[in-house]
Structure 1
Amino acid sequence: MHDARKAGSLTEQEAKAELERLAETLLRADAAYHGEDAPLVSDADYDSLKRRNAEIEAQFPHLKRADSPSDTVGAAPSERFGKVTHAQRMMSLSNAFDDAEITEFDQRVRKYLGVPSGAPLRYTAEPKIDGLSLSLRYENGALVQAATRGDGAVGENVTANARTIKDIPENLTGAPDILEVRGEVYMSHADFTALNARQSDAGAKTFANPRNAAAGSLRQLDAAVTASRPLRFFAYAWGELSAPLAGTQFEAIAKLNALGFSTNPLTALCDGPDDLVAHYAQIEQQRASLAYDIDGVVYKVDDLELQRRLGYRSTTPRWAIAHKFPAELAWTRLEAIEINVGRTGALSPVARLSPVTVGGVVVSNATLHNEDYIAGRGGDGSPIRGGKDIRIGDWVQVYRAGDVIPKISDLDLGKRPDNAKPFSFPTLCPECGSDAIREDGDAVRRCSGGLVCPSQAVEKLKHFVSRAAFDIEGLGAKQIEMFHADDQLPVQTPADIFTLEARDRNNLTKLANREGWGDLSARNLFAAIEQCRTVPLARLIFALGIRHVGEVAARDLARHFGSWEALVDAVDTAAPAAACELQADAAEAAERQLATSEGRRARIKPVRDAVWGELDAPALAAWRDLIGIDGIGATVAVSLVTSFQQKAERASIDRLVEELTIEDAAPPMSGNSPVAGKTVVFTGTLDKMTRAEAKARAEALGAKVSGSVSARTDILVAGPGAGSKAAKAAELGVETMDEDAWLALIGGA
């Protein structure tokens, strides 16, 4: 369930703004759900936001952000536990919400594999358990390690806790020498009710739902606490293996069961999308009577060789999909609408609700997206919710599917108070009083105060010390708020963090003398800050909080440039080109009202040609190099360059860098692969594999796959029908080969 307005009705500027809002919201949600067991958004809300993000990216693929939620899995592991690097990445699943999407999934699989419609293609279908993902590593039959999913690449070491779960065997007979079993830790409804009763009787914290109870119990520092909690485990997958379990998914699950693991008895073999949907309906009917929570059904291609061929996208397998259940609904009163100001200045409205229980969870907040959503219209003026606006005092319908913060889906005008007035969205920032401006085509109103706005400054600092950024132990959001407001030891910019100890020595009112602090806690904080003076390049780039530059983009930039000095030199050199891009965008915006896209292009092209024609060669080359990085487009590049060219922002960055030792990014490695670190472009028709399969294989071997040929291209793989890219490669002297030569090159890798 999501906005009635379709992605296709958005303008390009509206799409950019919507993708930014979605990225910020989903990043916070991932960190809270996976890292803190304290969800900020409901499952339904989260799924809706992710689906909305995917719809817009499909309509505007060139606007896909480097930190797109489509490319993220989980959240960074907690520092409370030791870290475990997964031998094989723990992936997420793409979602489907109706029967038609299951048919589309089957069609995509067949197209990728070249399996014609009507030919046999079997799937497994299994309930999607609402719990915490866990990976168990066995060596020579003995359990040696247990780790949470974390961010997919690195998880938390919870071995001692996992050993207390009765469903997890300590030793296996007949297992491969190396076996990583993956599954879900969960808590039954009856055990959850009994646990909450014991917690309440003891005056301890109660849990919102079984998923939170299971996650919080497994992630205890004291294994004895975990042992006292009634945790269960379903096995449904595997990671690293020294020998195959079986030839099919269904047989492999049976093998895990034979080894002593609990597997879900509702897992079934299905012969196509119709069978899958029928099994989904059967499980949905049983849902209320099951002893545990599920939030959908997972479908997987049964043949493991076909799974291998299908491979993975950046974060999800092509051979699996989760068919989610519909959201749960409830009605309640809207008590207030509050406006929060984020680190980019976005004014985000939040509904404060009379607490209501939805599916066993008490919720009291909901997202209201933006002023158009409150007013009952889309960004183009078309009505949503039948044009009904949302007012304080309204009786509103909210929905969720497993956690806390819901979304308002409808309202009852018959119960609207007589004195309810239309909500007047602020045009001044509620934090600093600066003008809150909504640019043409932007769905979000933003504070223009910049660093003057305390909310933006504080939010940027919170981002700077967040887990994926500098992650300074003892310096979290609450401490940042304290230091930002402190008269004696203020922290206004990131560089101020690294001068805290020196300023404390010269301060009459030392930190150790403050309420809530002591000598030991102050020393620990200063030591933690000192430890973070040495920082990997990618973390530094992400920590700067530059709009559109998320974790993925930061890693891409670090990998490409290698050092801070090289990045800064490239950004400074490309600055005139970024200004040209902004001028061209302005010209396009001015012509947006013309009747046809052809007319716009005809009017804009001379403007673009004139603007770009004034650039010198180094600026143009630096710009092309920057936007040519896989995953970095013009939107990210303009944001990056513009941020570095702002005087106050640049001065803040320069002061910070003076305090740090920045580690260069390691060059990409992929064993003995002959194409590791090379940039490859595919063009024309490929006969022996699909384009998607070729790209996935190249990336798995450590190559960078680009969509355009440039001076940095190492190899062009050209099939029949190759056109301008082949000509460009010949002009630049790029090595060009056909598909057979490419397969021969990588065949032994």
Structure 2
Amino acid sequence: MSSAAARDPAARAAELRRELDHHGYRYYVLDDPEVGDDVYDALLDELRALEREHPELVTPDSPTQRVGGAPVSNLEKVRHLQPMLSLANARSEEELVAWVQRMRAHLAREGIEDPRFDYVVEPKVDGLAISLLYRDGVLVRGSTRGDGQIGEDVTHNLRTIPSIPLRVDDAPPLLEVRGEIYMSLADFEALNERRAEQGLSTFMNPRNSAAGTIRQLDPRLAAERPLSMWCYQVGVTDGLAFSSHWESLEWLRARRFRVNPDIRRLGSEQAVLRRCHEWQDRRGALPFEIDGVVVKVDDVELQRRLGSVGRDPRWAIAWKFPPTTAVTRLIDVMWNVGKFGTLHPFAQLEPVHVGGVTVKLATLHNEEDLARKDVRPGDDVIVLRAGDVIPQVISPAPHVAERRDRAPVPRPPARCPICDTPTVKGEGVFTKCPNMACPGRRWQLLQSFVSRGAMDVDGIGEKQVSQLMEAGLVKVPGDFYRLDAEQLQRLDRYGEVSARKAVEAIAASKERPFGRVLFALGIEGVGAVTGRNLAQRFRTIDALLEATAAQIADTPGIGPVVGQLIHDQLQDEHMRRVIADLRAEGVRMEEEGPPPGDGPLNGRTVVLTGTLPNLTREQATARILAAGGRVTSSVSRRTDFVVAGDSPGTKLEKAERLGVRVLDEEGLEAALRGELAEPGDGAAGGGGAAGGSGA
């Protein structure tokens, strides 16, 4: 230890922390180091030795505290102080211009005519959104975005990332900073090489690698992986205010947060469009992956007046890049079995790198689409990741048509590829496996049964369903309710805690609403909305099983063809055994609460489309049902009115074409109060069309 440290250890420790913070900032944030690694390491070693001799000098923001903490037992849920909103998308110049027009229309209704917009344009880094919370300048919590309201506490891992400040000088008592955790392409490749040399599995892409690392329980694993963070927003603060978003970014830069140097403030839509195209053109040359550009209104007061719609702020939008494509060889056309027995083609490909992942399999949708595209084994084909997510074959490569030695046109197999049952061709476009006990069909039904839209069993996903089937533990839906934690623990993916929680989640699913149960049964023609409407009309499973095809067809949104299809399936002995088994296990088989009464919407049929400003789809549906109305998923001449929010899609167009009345949220509220003015009576009632808002 130096003589200076011996004389005043506290002063020397503070000096070392300042020096290390400075050199870390130069290296990890500015990428402009002033000293070599040997000098930095010597300073860090001196501070460690000093803190070992004087433990009372250790502070939470010390550089020595980034790595070495004990593993956590689980990731705690935390509620964000302010929701972390998502972003609406624009994929063309017209959509971006339409976004600007919607903002102007909204502000005009607020009394702000012809506002001037300055914009901040930022790269949309393909990583993991993170919230950092500082109290009195010290990092106290870091959490994932989660569902926007509730995320997971990952502070132990975020502390290991050198570019994240542990202390912020001149900070308010409360400060939230938001940003994106990512891994550079060079670091990702180096990490995968090291893992391959060690015989470990490699990661699919940098985003998955970053997300998986941040959710590790042991911070030492996170410290071994090269993560970084771009900061893009100041969230909740106490005693700190900005007049513009640009000003907040400058404030972050001045306090050593890592803010992308290529962010620009621009004064016109034309300049924004040029900048978006520039980012799109240079996407492949960047050292990290981006999947678009974020455009924000700069003025904070205008942001406040614009507000948000659903989970999207009106004052920001993501310019999404076109989906990535590549050309590769189609090795073969294979077939999957869907949950209703339909055969779906998919492509086995020579591995190709598309949009950051290696693609070996891709969808071909259905046999009609396969015939239309005319792709055959041996062809070079164009592969696309739709929305940068789902790989699909879109067409043969241009030169393929000139070949004369192409393979025969692929046809659906004469026998089921899973159970070898002879296939049948129905009246529709699909070839089917008629075997209700087909393992492929049964797997699709079982994983759909526990999925989020159906029984929503947390801890049981596609891979777990496969394991349970292979172990002979689950053959029909009722088997889920006969599982115990001991059986699950014998499977690879379960420990004591996860097995117990899965069994608890299975038990809790018995109380799902009757409409969800009907959807989960896997009845062809019964989706989430139809299941709810059937439950609302027939009230009990016995009444539904006794109903005629005509009675089922008279349910809103069904009709005679689908009504007959549903009726026939409900008469099938296999389906009746499944229902009886679930009832015996205690699954809800009747609608809860009283039937709809003579409310303001009694007998009215309503369709919801788009995003409403203040109500979620579920909340609006519940209130319509409580008022005696019916909610269906499709617009017809029998629809009384359509409630349309932002981004309403084709349902609004169909309503206008059929002359169906269109309401905005204000009009819906009036209808729920029984105050909706009838067309042409001149009374007030908030029944305007949502299309007038520029949505």
Q: TM-score range by the shorter chain?
A: 0.5 to 0.7
For residue 585 of structure 2, what is the amino acid of its counterpart? E
Match of 1:205, SS state, is: coil
Residue in structure 1 matched with residue 368 of structure 2 by the alignment: 372
**Shift in CA distance, 658/395, structure 1 to aligned 2, threshold 3 Å:** same
**Shift in CA distance, 645/179, structure 1 to aligned 2, threshold 3 Å:** farther
Match of 1:452, SS state, is: coil
1:227 to partner: Cα distance? 0.8
For residue 533 of structure 1, what is the amino acid of its counterpart? A
Match 1:213 to one of 209, 215, 228:
209
Q: Is the 8 A contact 1:333 1:394 kept in 2?
A: yes
Deviation per CA, 1:656-713: give whole Å up to 9, x if none.
244347799999xxxxxxxxxx9999xxxxxxxxx999x5146699776978996469
Percent sequence identity is 35
Q: Is the 8 A contact 1:368 1:407 kept in 2?
A: yes
**Is 2:279 the counterpart of 1:283?**
yes
Residue in structure 2 matched with residue 125 of structure 1 by the alignment: 121
Segments of structure 2 that go 5 or more residues without pairing to the other structure are 1-72, 594-598, 603-608, 631-640, 644-659, 678-682, 688-695
**Is 2:248 the counterpart of 1:252?**
yes
Q: Is the 8 A contact 1:340 1:347 kept in 2?
A: yes
Deviation per CA, 1:514-563: give whole Å up to 9, x if none.
9x789x97998578425631337458647555668778x69x96xx99xx
Give the Cα–Cα distance (whole angstroms) in 2 for the partners of residues 447 and 228 of structure 1.
50
Give the 5 Å matches for 1:684-723: 695-697=612-614, 711=628
Q: Is the 8 A contact 2:675 2:685 kept in 1?
A: no
Q: Is the 8 A contact 2:481 2:506 kept in 1?
A: no
**Is 2:581 the counterpart of 1:655?**
yes
Give the 5 Å matches for 1:126-275: 126-237=122-233, 240-241=236-237, 245-275=241-271
1:224 to partner: Cα distance? 0.5
Match 2:410 to one of 392, 400, 423:
423
1:261 to partner: Cα distance? 2.2
1:396 to partner: Cα distance? 1.5
**Shift in CA distance, 711/497, structure 1 to aligned 2, threshold 3 Å:** closer
Q: Is the 8 A contact 1:395 1:416 kept in 2?
A: no
1:392 to partner: Cα distance? 0.9
Residue in structure 2 matched with residue 20 of structure 1 by the alignment: none
**Shift in CA distance, 209/511, structure 1 to aligned 2, threshold 3 Å:** closer
Residue in structure 1 matched with residue 376 of structure 2 by the alignment: 391
Match 1:405 to one of 377, 380, 391:
391
**Shift in CA distance, 324/635, structure 1 to aligned 2, threshold 3 Å:** farther
Match of 1:460, SS state, is: helix
Residue in structure 1 matched with residue 507 of structure 2 by the alignment: 533
Deviation per CA, 1:705-749: give whole Å up to 9, x if none.
978996469xx9x9xxx999999999999356987999xxxxxxx
For residue 195 of structure 1, what is the amino acid of its counterpart? L
Deviation per CA, 1:243-276: give whole Å up to 9, x if none.
6642333233333334442122222222332111
**Is 2:68 the counterpart of 1:98?**
no
**Shift in CA distance, 364/348, structure 1 to aligned 2, threshold 3 Å:** same
Q: Is the 8 A contact 1:395 1:415 kept in 2?
A: no
Match of 1:451, SS state, is: coil
Give the Cα–Cα distance (whole angstroms) in 2 for the partners of residues 511 and 328 of structure 1.
40
Residue in structure 2 matched with residue 491 of structure 1 by the alignment: 474
Q: Is the 8 A contact 1:106 1:272 kept in 2?
A: no
**Shift in CA distance, 204/739, structure 1 to aligned 2, threshold 3 Å:** farther
Residue in structure 1 matched with residue 440 of structure 2 by the alignment: 455
**Shift in CA distance, 733/406, structure 1 to aligned 2, threshold 3 Å:** closer
1:171 to partner: Cα distance? 3.3
Give the Cα–Cα distance (whole angstroms) in 2 for the partners of residues 182 and 215 of structure 1.
16
Give the 5 Å matches for 1:611-626: none
For residue 153 of structure 2, what is the amino acid of its counterpart? N
**Shift in CA distance, 325/729, structure 1 to aligned 2, threshold 3 Å:** closer
Give the Cα–Cα distance (whole angstroms) in 2 for the partners of residues 346 and 246 of structure 1.
57
Q: Is the 8 A contact 1:679 1:705 kept in 2?
A: no
Match of 1:405, SS state, is: strand
1:351 to partner: Cα distance? 0.7
Please say which of residues 332-341 and 119-128 is displaced more in the overlay.
119-128
Residue in structure 1 matched with residue 337 of structure 2 by the alignment: 341
Segments of structure 1 that go 5 or more residues without pairing to the other structure are 1-78, 377-387, 505-509, 584-611, 613-622, 668-677, 682-690, 743-749
The CA RMSD over aligned residues, in Å, is 5.3
**Shift in CA distance, 496/568, structure 1 to aligned 2, threshold 3 Å:** farther
Match of 1:161, SS state, is: helix
Deviation per CA, 1:393-418: give whole Å up to 9, x if none.
11122244867835334423257461
**Relative contact order, higher structure (CA 8 A, sep 6+):** 1
**Shift in CA distance, 173/336, structure 1 to aligned 2, threshold 3 Å:** same
1:131 to partner: Cα distance? 1.2
1:297 to partner: Cα distance? 1.0
**Is 2:105 the counterpart of 1:111?**
yes
Match 2:353 to one of 337, 351, 357:
357
Match of 2:360, SS state, is: strand
**Is 2:659 the counterpart of 1:734?**
no
**Is 2:449 the counterpart of 1:464?**
yes
1:226 to partner: Cα distance? 0.4
Q: Is the 8 A contact 2:436 2:442 kept in 1?
A: yes
Q: Is the 8 A contact 1:183 1:233 kept in 2?
A: yes
**Shift in CA distance, 183/547, structure 1 to aligned 2, threshold 3 Å:** farther
**Is 2:316 the counterpart of 1:320?**
yes
1:339 to partner: Cα distance? 0.8
For normalisation by structure 2, the TM-score amounts to: 0.66
Give the Cα–Cα distance (whole angstroms) in 1 for the partners of residues 225 and 473 of structure 2.
44
For residue 581 of structure 2, what is the amino acid of its counterpart? R
Give the Cα–Cα distance (whole angstroms) in 1 for the partners of residues 591 and 297 of structure 2.
38
Deviation per CA, 1:294-344: give whole Å up to 9, x if none.
222111223334334444444433332222233444322111011111224
For residue 430 of structure 1, what is the amino acid of its counterpart? P
**Shift in CA distance, 702/113, structure 1 to aligned 2, threshold 3 Å:** farther
Deviation per CA, 1:172-195: give whole Å up to 9, x if none.
345454444322111123322332
- Mark the structure with the bigger radius of gyration: 2
Give the Cα–Cα distance (whole angstroms) in 2 for the partners of residues 225 and 391 of structure 1.
45
1:353 to partner: Cα distance? 0.9
Give the Cα–Cα distance (whole angstroms) in 1 for the partners of residues 174 and 506 of structure 2.
36
1:421 to partner: Cα distance? 0.7
1:582 to partner: Cα distance? 6.9
For normalisation by structure 1, the TM-score amounts to: 0.61
Give the Cα–Cα distance (whole angstroms) in 1 for the partners of residues 675 and 396 of structure 2.
59
**Shift in CA distance, 652/151, structure 1 to aligned 2, threshold 3 Å:** farther
Q: Is the 8 A contact 2:331 2:348 kept in 1?
A: yes
Give the Cα–Cα distance (whole angstroms) in 1 for the partners of residues 249 and 301 of structure 2.
16
**Is 2:315 the counterpart of 1:297?**
no
Residue in structure 2 matched with residue 480 of structure 1 by the alignment: 465
